[in-house]
Amino acid sequence: MATKNIMIVGVGGQGTLLTSRILGGLAVRGGYDVKLSEVHGMAQRGGSVVTFVRYGEKVAEPVVEEGQADVLVAFERLEALRYAHFLKEDGVVVVNDHRIDPITVVTGAAGYPDGILARLGARHKVVSLDATAVAAAMGAPKAFNVVVLGLAAQFLDFSREDWLAVIEAVVPPKTVAVNKQAFEAGYKK
Amino acid sequence: MSDKALMLGNEAIARGAWEAGVKVSAAYPGTPSTEISESIVKYKEVYAEWAPNEKVAVEVALGASIAGVRSLASMKHVGLNVAADPLFTASYTGVGGGMVLVAADDPGMYSSQNEQDSRMVARAALVPVLEPSDSAEAKEFTKLAYELSERFDTPVMVRTTTRLSHSQGLVELGERVEPADKPYERDIAKYVMMPVNAIRRHPIVEERMKALSEEDLPVNRAEYGDLSIGFVASGIPYLYVKEALPEASVLKLGMVNPLPRKLIEEFAAKVGKLYIFEELEPVIEEQVRSWGIPAVGKELFTRQGEYSAALLRDRILHQPATARPADDAPARPPILCPGCPHRSVFTALSQLKLHAAGDIGCYTLGAVAPLSVVDTTVCMGSSISTLHGMEKGRGAAYVKDWVAVIGDSTFMHTGVNSLMNMAYNRATGTVVVLDNSTTGMTGHQDHPATGKTLRGEAVPAIDIAGLCRALGVRRVHEVGAFDLEALKELLRQETAADELSVVIARAPCVLLKGQTFPNRCREVPDKCKKCGACLKPGCPSLTRLPEKNIHIDAMCTGCGLCQRLCKFGAIETVAR
């Protein structure tokens, strides 16, 4: 199989590191070679963050190049727009339909773009869900990222059972049940 | 069949050190090196500690080595500068038990103030350097580093970069070896570096480096393919060569100092055009050219930032990137968190129109709009000493509208030396210690003033106020970071005073575990005059709505700063 290129993008603090660990765990379970590249440190403080996940028979570089992503998983709309040029022409955007204003917008230095989903949809297949609202309704607002992963699962190469097993292995023990529930909330049968 | 695990480069380095039988590890946190210590402390056979700074960490590792056990010191590239003093002479003393120093460079400056190249430091210190390309190699090279350290009687550097430290790859897990502790033998000529002994050690160091350059190491490997084009590469850039030009010949260097000259000469003779593909400085390139070998390097490839496969395709294959340009999206720079105590202190400084000599930590973000109160940031501890220099250059009146701001961890690292200097040399400036009870930016590591060690043991915490007094500072004040009025009053009073003072502004980092935030702030729309005063501190919980009034979202921790700034009672604190 050709190497699959996935990007997880969001705002520092949204849990991109946990979700990349879940994807990494799935790739290992699937018997693939896998490389992930993460951002730690200063950029995590509310900044734009990106994680690369690549799996296949043999993976060389740990980064996804522009124009090479198969799936872009975005935890926030503006971040989906920021990284959309990384997608292949037939790449898919899975986006949390949620807005977090960057400081440049809060201070009035810039405007938050309108119609992001439509702009993305003009070029790519887009699936979206207000996962933030879904998770909040479940009483587990932090688990929105796993709701988004559930939505993304239809474009990845792993079974529902694989997902649930890896979630159980990766997330903190106390949050296993709620994260499984979050995954199911996003998952399309 | 052996077990495989997905590991960060940093976790793999820790695993390698553990498998090599390391007994002592010391470090000061610094992105991208921090996870090495956080991983190694999980192995119970290893004693691991946070040292107050990198110089101390390297000396601890050297002491353990002299005492006959294998040791590790890890740091980011700029930490290596702090540790340079012991390193340059540990190179002369050599080791007892194997000693490895990990230096983590940051091409692209994801979380650093410069992008210096640690290989240059290692060359100057006459220390060998191994450079892995992925997590599997990170583990294996660390083990090899211990072997080489003991065989050649030298500390060995393992150099990593952010891309390797923070990438995960599969690692084959091995068993730990338990080398016997070496019996101590007094060897004054080797370990006391006074001139008479050091003069004798220097030629030994040079002979050792020569022997290493001639050593046949499997980690230096020629991969012949298309002979018309050859690359010399190591570390992460090697992977970009494999990605972009899988057919090209590559000399993959696992040891980048000293260089294996014979191997490079052989490779250069076999290939047509020779390229040196190395991030940051032309360390390999300049040496190769000095041997009379024509090679192309920095005239094609930049000294700045990270490399990529696309860079090779563009410069070698003349295939410019085909991806469409990025969409226009407003920037999202890092910012202080909602509820961050630094925001309150910076608001006080801003309202009093004070300049801040800044330091290294989350609070460097005080330089960013809309706060924009931090005027300088150079290196760990420099806030205090630069303020002192300003006063000595221009007189006490000049620093009346200045303060130094430094975090508690950075104060412990090297700030304390600078404050000692101010006290000793009769300065009158004002130092603000932003005490949030942790090393914040690197992800909450303990330090000597937190009362906890890397291993989680409770220990007596250094009393920062008491320490300042012990240094001779008479005007030492402690204040809650969110007590805006008291803070401003103290700052007015202390910047006006003709004597050195320290103001310790205290509130825990909002991300420290174990805190609860029972309250949050909420807007009262009919009282809002749309003046925007609440937005001035740049809290990301606040948004200006299209009608110009404001909304406070659920990320709010109820710190109350915006409420204090609202003259119209349009923000209230409510139970969450």
Q: What is the pLDDT of residues A94-122, one digit of tens each?
A: 999 999 989 888 888 899 999 999 999 99
Average per-residue pLDDT in chain A? 94
Q: Kindly provide the ipTM of the predicted complex, given to two decimals.
A: 0.94
Shortest distance between the Cα of B510 and any Cα of chain A, in A, equals: 12
How far apart are the two ends of chain B, measured CA to CA in Å?
A: 53
Phi, psi of B158 (to 5 degrees): -105, 120
Paired tokens of B165: 């430290």
Query: Distance between CA atoms of A131 and A187, rounded to whole angstroms?
Result: 11
Say if the Cβ atoms of A79 and B332 lie within 8 Å: yes
8 A C-beta contact, residue B364 and residue A41: no
Which tokens go with B179? Answer: 């080398």
Instruction: Give the CATH number of the domain where residue B117 resides.
Output: 3.40.50.970
Same domain, B486 and B533: no
Chain-chain contact of A81 with B329 (C-beta, under 8 angstroms): yes
Distance from CA of A184 to the nearest CA of B (A): 25
Give the contacts of B94 (CB within 8 A, at least 6 positions apart): B153, B154, B155, B190, B201, B204, B208
Contact by Cβ (8 Å): B384, B427: no
Q: Which residue numbers in chain B have pLDDT < 70?
A: 1-2
Residues in chain A with CB shorter than 8 Å from the CB of B331 are: 48, 102, 104, 110
Query: How many domains does chain A contain in total?
Result: 1
Answer yes or no: do B333 and A107 touch at CB < 8 A: no
List, in sequence order, every beta strand (DSSP E) within B343-474: 355-357, 374-376, 402-407, 430-435
Half-sphere exposure of B512 toward its Cβ, with a 13 Å CA cutoff? 16
Q: How many domains does one find in chain B?
A: 4
Domain that holds residue A74: 4-186
Confidence of residue A44 (pLDDT cuts 50, 70, 90): low
Return the pLDDT at B178.
97
Shortest Cα distance, chain B CAs vs residue A153, angstroms: 21
The answer to whether position B328 is within a domain reads: no
Q: Which of A103, A84, A79, A93 is nearest to A9 (CA)?
A: A79
Instruction: Assess B352–A contact: CB distance below 8 Å, yes or no.
Output: no
For the stretch A62-90, pLDDT in tens is 999 999 999 999 999 999 999 999 999 99
Is the peptide bond between B32 and the residue preceding it cis, with omega within 30 degrees of 0?
yes
A36 touches chain B (CB under 8 A): yes
Identify the CA nearest to A107 among candidates B231, B368, B203, B8: B368
Domain end position, chosen among B179, B214, B249: B214
B352 lies in the same domain as B388: yes
CA A176 to the chain's CA centroid: 19
Contacts of B546 in chain A (CB under 8 A): none
Which pLDDT band, with edges at 50, 70 and 90, does A39 fall under?
confident
In this predicted structure, what is the pLDDT of residue A43?
62
Smallest CA–CA distance, residue A102 to chain B, in Å, is 5
Q: What is the pLDDT of residue A189?
A: 65
Question: Same structural domain for residues B150 and B51?
Answer: yes
- Judge whether B347 lies within some domain: yes
Using DSSP's 3-state secondary structure scheme, residue B138 falls into helix
Distance between B381 CA and the closest CA of chain A, angstroms = 18
Containing domain of residue B538, as a range? 519-575
**pLDDT-based confidence at A17, cuts 50/70/90?**
confident
* B329 found inside a domain: no
Angle subtended by helix axes A144-152 and A176-186, to nearest 10: 40
Q: What is the distance in angstroms between the Cα of A172 and the nearest Cα belonging to chain B? A: 14
Chain B residues lying within 8 Å of A35, measured CB to CB: 134, 167-169
Q: Which of residues 377-416 of B touch A (CB under 8 A)?
A: none
- The reply to whether B568 and B471 lie within a common domain is no
In whole angstroms, what is the distance from residue B111 CA to residue B162 CA? Answer: 9
Cβ count within 10 A of residue B349: 24
Residue in this structure with the two tokens 């292995």, named with its chain if needed: A169
Note which residues in 62-121 of chain A have CB less than 8 A from chain B: 62-63, 65-68, 78-79, 81-86, 100-113, 119
Give the pLDDT confidence score for residue B1 in this predicted structure: 44
Nearest CA in chain B to A43: B334
CB contact under 8 A, B329 and A60: no
Q: How many of the other CB atoms lie within 10 Å of CB of A33?
A: 16
Give chain A positions within 8 Å (CB) of B369: 103, 107, 109
Is B320 within the bounds of a domain? Answer: no
Quick one: B500 and B566 in the same domain? no
Q: Does A39 touch chain B (CB under 8 A)?
A: yes
**Cβ neighbours of residue B424 closer than 8 Å, sequence gap 6 or more:** B472
Phi (first) and psi of residue B220, to 5 degrees: -95, 115
Residues B64 and B162 in one domain: yes
Same domain, B101 and B244: no
Task: Give domain status of residue B367, yes or no.
Answer: yes
Residues in chain B: 576
* Helix, strand, coil percent values for chain A (each to nearest 5): 45, 25, 35
- pTM over 0.95? The answer is yes
Domain boundary among B457, B476, B506: B506
Judging contacts by C-beta atoms under 8 Å, the chain A residues touching residue B442 are: 41
Nearest CA in chain A to B324: A85
> Which is nearest to B298 in space by CA: B314, B315, B310?
B315
Residue B373 belongs to a domain? yes
CATH of the domain at A114: 3.40.920.10
- B172 DSSP β-pair partners: B4
Answer whether residue B323 is part of any domain. no
Which residues, in sequence order, are CB contacts of B171 under 8 Å at separation 6+?
Answer: B4, B5, B6, B7, B11, B12, B15, B135, B136, B138, B139
Residue A70 and residue A53: Cα distance in Å, rounded? 11
Asked whether residue B286 falls in the same domain as residue B200, the answer is no
Token pair 């995954």 is at which residue? A183
Burial of B389 (0-12, 13-18, 19+ CB in 10 A): middle
SS3 B351: helix
φ/ψ (deg, to 5) at B91: -60, -35
> For position A106, what pLDDT does the model report?
82
Choose, out of A63, A72, A100, the residue to mutate when testing the contact with B (most B CBs < 10 Å): A63
Q: In terms of domains, do B494 and B530 share one?
A: no
Listed by number, the residues of chain A in 44-63 with a beta carbon closer than 8 Å to a beta carbon of chain B are: 44-48, 59-63
Q: Are residues B471 and B546 in the same domain?
A: no
Taking alpha carbons only, the member of B84, B62, B78, B76 closest to residue B149 is B62
**Which of B160, B179, B214 is a domain's end point?**
B214
Find, among B266, B265, B230, the residue nearest to B248 by Cα: B230
**Are B65 and B114 found together in one domain?**
yes
Q: Could you tell me which of B72, B87, B3, B64 has the C-alpha nearest to residue B36? A: B72
- Residue B39 CA to residue B13 CA, distance in Å, equals 9
B524 and B487: one domain? no
